[in-house]
Amino acid sequence: MERTPLTADRVRADVADVLSVPPGELDEDLRLIDQGMDSIRMMTLVERWRADGADVTFVDLAEGPTVAEWVALLGR
C-alpha cells in the first residue's frame, strides 16, 4: 500500500476536509477548537495519519491544537 506523505499541504487539506471548509479558510495559528474541531474529528485525523505511517496520538494533537503545530509535529 502506498503511503501519502504528511506534507504541510496534506495536513491542511485533511484538516479542512474534516471541518468541511476550503483549506484557504483555515487560520493556521488559531486554535482549531475555535474553528470547529472536536474530539471525533481529531480522532478521524489520528487514524487517517496513522494509516499513512505517522506516529501520532490524540494527546499529541490536543497539546498543540493549531494547524501550524500539527504541521511541525507531523513533519518530524
Domain definitions of the chain by residue range = 8-74
pTM of the predicted protein model: 0.90
Q: What is the pLDDT of residues 16-50, one digit of tens each?
A: 999 999 999 999 999 999 999 999 999 999 999 99
**Of 3, 4, 69, which Cα lies nearest the Cα of 37?**
69
For 3-7, 10-14, 57-61, 69-73, which range has the lowest pLDDT when averaged over its residues?
A: 3-7
Record the cell numbers describing residue 32, joined without a space: 482549531
Name the DSSP class of 65.
-
CATH classification (class only), 8-74: mainly alpha
